[in-house]
Structure 1
Amino acid sequence: MPSSISSAVVRSLSCLLLLFLLSPSLASESDHRYRTDDPVTLWVNKVGPYNNPQETYNYYSLPFCHATGNPAHKWGGLGEVLGGNELIDSQIDIKFQRNVDKNVICQLELDEAKVKQFKDAVENSYWFEFFMDDLPLWGFVGDLHPDKNSDIGKHVLYTHKNIIVKYNKDQIIHVNLSQENPKPLEVGNNLDMTYSVKWMPTNVTFARRFDVYLDYPFFEHQIHWFSIFNSFMMVIFLTGLVSMILMRTLRNDYAKYAREDDDLETLERDVSEESGWKLVHGDVFRPPRNLVVLSAVVGTGAQLALLVLLVILMAIVGTLYVGRGAIVTTFIVCYALTSFISGYVSGGMYSRHGGKNWIKSMILTASLFPFMCFGIGFVLNTVAIFYGSLAAIPFGTMVVVFVIWAFISFPLALLGTVVGRNWSGAPNNPCRVKTIPRPIPEKKWYLTPSVVSMMGGLLPFGSIFIEMYFVFTSFWNYKVYYVYGFMLLVFLILIIVTVCVTIVGTYFLLNAENYHWQWTSFFSAASTAVYVYLYSIYYYYVKTKMSGFFQTSFYFGYTLMFCLGLGILCGAVGYLGSNLFVRRIYRNIKCD
């Protein structure tokens, strides 16, 4: 009885946790419908330097008019908290369809400390973000006006907020904020902080209200279309080239070995010169070094590939870009639910190669990527706490993430490992592995595993190069990424190009009589992430105006996290493709 009660409690907590996690995509201001004179809440969110997107602080970290009493806080789901959002009720009196000519929010008395804070904010181009009915409003704290007596100009603070709200029947469609009445920042000034609200009808439907935030000319520029077409042509060319060269070469190899009346010396010469891959049939299925680690990264990469595909499809169908943090929440929940795949792939691979310590493999598979992200996130979180930024992840959110991993992800990885060991873990190599490893002859430098690995990532990176620019710009430059159809095509192109390039590299390596193809195929595909990270360095210095230790650490930290995931994903795809290729070619030869 106690065990059944405890299991019921765990199930209940799991259900509540999932409902909490899925709430961002369903979060709303009630049902988004208002009657005349219904109160409409204006939420203040964050403030920070415009050139540093992640360096954000609580809106009231600047000495603005504070809400009286204990204002309401709006806590979204997991993704919203991780995104550094903290919505606080401004307590500004706004009613549906009721215009406000000019009302005073409060009177701001400027002392020396407040003037210094505001001047620093103006010099660093501080912007702020509000929300009304889940629609964002943006504005700058102040500006620098020309001043004959100062080299940097006169610091002014905008004191009037003019809010224009467009509505369709009983629903809010669009909100816009313009700032007026700049006043100089001087000690002793008393500034009246005011606002006005104007309501205007519109024919735009509620379903189309987010379109105004989407930059169609930027994302649907002909360069974007051309890049997709160019990558698609690369896929056709590469797959055709791989099919023609490899199939023709392998057909000749098979025919050569099938001839029974050839001169033995000629056959040996042909084998050594043209078909070295046949000579390593007794070693090619030898268990790779560090089998536990390779099984873990391949299993994790297979999970990440499925995860990315699922999130892209859900973003296409569910327009996840509309909700604050919905993409992050979806990613975390889907990662937990797809952990079965990582365990299945890893467990089956580990057992097929004769691995005995499957528990160690399972634990490493379940914890590898989460703990890598945790390590990077811990460092970045320490920096954010030191700066007092909203980007700092609250302790409660860390606990929630850990609970998801411990009670959903880890058990599913365990289940997947058990199923993988029993369903696909039996050894079935086409060729018997010899007892004594064959010595690997020295070859030319371009056939060494390190060179093959580094060259393998060039073409996959070339296929996603343009899309990386749009992804980076959307994440680091305040643009909403919504073209997930493009992303789906690019992702499929990346998978195909990665598999083709890795197969070619594996064939060259085996032809050089080097049978250590497993790790080489993984790194050959994973090197794509190295080129993406190098591109991110170029992007940081050429395409952005970011500055300061905070933003620099966040930029390169988040990019490292992204590239690690991309490298593991591509590496797993490359290994699995090469594995199918190797098994296929050795299945058709006669082994002694």
Structure 2
Amino acid sequence: MRRVICALVLWAYLFVEGDEHDHLYREGEEIVLWMNTVGPYSNRQETYAYFSLPFCRGPKHSISHYHETLGEALLGVELDYSGLDIKFKENVEKVEFCKKTLSEEDYKQFIYAVRNNYWYQMYLDELPMYGMVGEIDSSTTPPNYRLFTHKKLEIGYNGKQIVDINVTSDVRVTLTPGASISFTYEVVWKISDIDFDKRFEKYLDPTFFQHRIHWFSIFNSFMMVIFLVGLVWMILMRTLKKDYARYQKDEDLDDMERDLGDEYGWKQVHGDVFRTPSFPMLFSSLVGTGYHVFTVVIITIILAIIGEFYTERGSLLSAAIFVYAAASPVNGFAGGSMYARFGGKQWIRQMVFGAFLLPCLVSSVAFLVNIVAISYHASRAIPFTIMLAVTAICLFVILPLTLVGTVLGRNVKGQSDNPCRVNAVPRPIPDKKWFLEPSLIIFLGGVLPFGSIFIEMYFIFTSFWAYKIYYVYGFMLLVTLILAIVTMCVTVVCTYFLLNAEDYRWYDSIPVASLLGDGPAFWQEHLHLSTSIFTQFITSCSRQRCMGFSRRCSISGTWACLVQPLDLCAALLAIGVLQNLFIKFIQR
């Protein structure tokens, strides 16, 4: 038996071929070149399939299509086999793989692509390459449009692994109707001393993401946390100590003196502060989703730090979806237990509402944008099978796990632990000064949390809209924790001011506080997006062609599907973080 096992291992070692999944190749083994997408350089989010332009494939047809992961499909990755014959360590001299006569329609498509600075993306052994479709020769009148027809691939290898790759576009052919164009390619293999685990470093930009201003922002935010925690502790301890002394003095007075006294402050609303909110089902669902989002954010960032997700396409989004589905019991436990403490009877409806709250909001916007993407044949269009897969995850994974969490929450923490009874008749809310109005307190309470994440948001948005890969997830984890601490400190102070003004509507203020407290970040996102749109608009109009409907929908769709859910998730995250802190603070 031992001999048979050894023989099988030897056979596997000698005859089983490596591929791009294990990144080990034998000499002469086929290397697959995948063509991904093509689109205007001015808008990274507008992409189409590479062969939507009248390029032609190579002569080989051994592989038809790449099977994308869930994350890749949602991000618009659309890999097609190039058909080029590339073998490990075998150079290929300049050779023609296709010849094409341009029709009138082909000519117009290439002219449109060159005029709008179309670029394309390719992958070889999971390493990306980029190139331009053509260039404009402005030295003549009218300008000539030239197409790059030659691709020179320079591939570096270290042992049995590919560690470096570069593509050079050459041979400029002037585009004319009916022109006969020859497409050629060339492969040059070179020995490289780059280690395999460091081959992706050339795509990163440490001078940008690890700039001194980035470190300074982290240090500044950390010092803000120390200052706020100390300030909140000092102010609340001294202020509450004085309040307790004043209330103790009032209790020592007789009834006549107490009636003539001027009672005011947070203790006057002790019989109303734990009153059930106006919409208990919605509030419980928001709290449960907030805990859920916060858990997903922390776990996903930690996984990104450990796994270096930036080296694999769509891995971060795939991991986030998996973590979101697996962490669904957190949603059910937090939302279900709170709804039970409110005395709610329709707990099944609350469980379903909480489970589908965030997925339905994001999917509804994505569905509308997807209709436009499908009509324009953009690669961002989500296939119907992926829609079914996402729906199946919601129905058969998220919903059952949320049910489990809800049942546990109702049985473990479903009993009310309020320290005092709620008055049968709501106490009237007295008039207060203008700077103690909930709307103003809520909005001003978002300034300091925004200041703690302002710089990091700039780097994140740059990775979305510019050609940079975000990889400093350690910074993101620190900023997330700093944001949570700063938000806690600020909102404790805001809650004290609200209750001290004898306004007990803090339950209704938590969702609004989270949403409006995210206002400065919301406007920063819109400012960043508006700047990008304005720049693209000026660039397009300078070439006598304004942005079309497809491009506007691509930009606004990315904003709607990416920026707005981020706003919502940030608000829900704040709700989840603050709700329990609020209750503990008020109970004390």
Question: TM-score, with normalisation over the residues of structure 1?
Answer: 0.91
CA distance in 2, matches of 1:576, 1:131: 47
Describe how 1:407-446 pairs up with structure 2 within 5 A: 407-446=396-435
CA distance in 2, matches of 1:530, 1:367: 25
Matched residue type, 1:50: Y
Cα deviation, residue 270, structure 1: 7.6
Cα deviation, residue 527, structure 1: 2.2
Deviations 1:374-401 (A, max 9, x none): 1111111111112110100000001111
Matched residue type, 1:139: G
Deviations 1:130-183 (A, max 9, x none): 110111111010011123312xx2211011111110100110001111111111
CA distance in 2, matches of 1:270, 1:227: 50
Q: Do 1:502 and 1:525's aligned partners in 2 also have CA atoms closer than 8 Å?
A: no
Cα deviation, residue 572, structure 1: 2.5
- The alignment's C-alpha RMSD in Å is 1.8
Q: What are the ranges of 5 or more consecutive residues in structure 2 without an aligned counterpart?
A: 1-17, 538-550
1:209 to 199, 203, 208: 199
Question: In the alignment, what sits opposite 1:178?
Answer: 168
Q: Do 2:442 and 2:517's aligned partners in 1 also have CA atoms closer than 8 Å?
A: no
2:312 to 323, 328, 332: 323
Cα deviation, residue 50, structure 1: 1.2
Distance 1:554 1:116, change over 3 A: same
2:135 to 116, 126, 143: 143
Q: Do 1:168 and 1:206's aligned partners in 2 also have CA atoms closer than 8 Å?
A: yes
1:57 is aligned to 2:48: yes
CA distance in 1, matches of 2:404, 2:254: 55
Cα deviation, residue 315, structure 1: 0.3
Q: Do 1:526 and 1:569's aligned partners in 2 also have CA atoms closer than 8 Å?
A: no
CA distance in 1, matches of 2:79, 2:506: 53
CA distance in 1, matches of 2:285, 2:259: 40
Distance 1:524 1:159, change over 3 A: same
Question: In the alignment, what sits opposite 2:587?
Answer: 583
2:37 to 29, 39, 46: 46
CA distance in 1, matches of 2:464, 2:139: 36
Higher mean displacement: 499-508 or 28-37? 28-37
Cα deviation, residue 267, structure 1: 6.4
Question: In the alignment, what sits opposite 1:572?
Answer: 576
Cα deviation, residue 574, structure 1: 2.3
Distance 1:181 1:354, change over 3 A: same
Matched residue type, 1:74: Y
Q: Do 1:524 and 1:574's aligned partners in 2 also have CA atoms closer than 8 Å?
A: no
CA distance in 2, matches of 1:430, 1:238: 29
- Matched residue pairs, number? 554
1:384 is aligned to 2:369: no
1:114 to 101, 106, 109: 106
Q: Do 1:540 and 1:546's aligned partners in 2 also have CA atoms closer than 8 Å?
A: no
Distance 1:242 1:271, change over 3 A: farther
Cα deviation, residue 111, structure 1: 2.5
Q: Do 1:168 and 1:204's aligned partners in 2 also have CA atoms closer than 8 Å?
A: yes
Distance 1:70 1:97, change over 3 A: closer
Q: Do 2:153 and 2:168's aligned partners in 1 also have CA atoms closer than 8 Å?
A: yes
CA distance in 2, matches of 1:270, 1:561: 51
Distance 1:405 1:270, change over 3 A: farther
CA distance in 2, matches of 1:488, 1:369: 22
Cα deviation, residue 360, structure 1: 1.5
CA distance in 1, matches of 2:38, 2:512: 42
Distance 1:109 1:269, change over 3 A: farther
Cα deviation, residue 265, structure 1: 8.1
Question: In the alignment, what sits opposite 2:340?
Answer: 351
Question: In the alignment, what sits opposite 2:77?
Answer: 85
Q: Do 1:55 and 1:550's aligned partners in 2 also have CA atoms closer than 8 Å?
A: no
Matched residue type, 1:365: G
Deviations 1:278-334 (A, max 9, x none): 000000011111000000000000010010000000000111111110011001111
Distance 1:204 1:70, change over 3 A: closer
CA distance in 1, matches of 2:123, 2:489: 47
Distance 1:444 1:269, change over 3 A: farther
Question: In the alignment, what sits opposite 1:165?
Answer: 155
Q: Do 2:19 and 2:25's aligned partners in 1 also have CA atoms closer than 8 Å?
A: no
CA distance in 1, matches of 2:394, 2:525: 30
Matched residue type, 2:195: T
Q: Do 2:95 and 2:185's aligned partners in 1 also have CA atoms closer than 8 Å?
A: yes
Distance 1:279 1:97, change over 3 A: same
Distance 1:270 1:34, change over 3 A: farther
Q: Do 1:456 and 1:525's aligned partners in 2 also have CA atoms closer than 8 Å?
A: no
Matched residue of 1:101: which SS? strand
Question: In the alignment, what sits opposite 1:471?
Answer: 460
Matched residue type, 1:56: T
Describe how 1:495-534 pairs up with structure 2 within 5 A: 495-534=484-523
Matched residue of 2:86: which SS? coil
Distance 1:269 1:237, change over 3 A: farther
Matched residue of 1:51: which SS? coil
Cα deviation, residue 99, structure 1: 1.3
1:224 is aligned to 2:218: no
Matched residue of 1:209: which SS? helix
Question: In the alignment, what sits opposite 1:123?
Answer: 115
Cα deviation, residue 59, structure 1: 0.6
Cα deviation, residue 487, structure 1: 0.2
Matched residue type, 2:269: V
Matched residue type, 2:171: N
Q: Do 2:103 and 2:177's aligned partners in 1 also have CA atoms closer than 8 Å?
A: yes
Distance 1:266 1:476, change over 3 A: farther
Distance 1:266 1:385, change over 3 A: farther
1:187 is aligned to 2:191: no
CA distance in 1, matches of 2:478, 2:222: 9
Cα deviation, residue 409, structure 1: 0.6
Cα deviation, residue 575, structure 1: 2.4
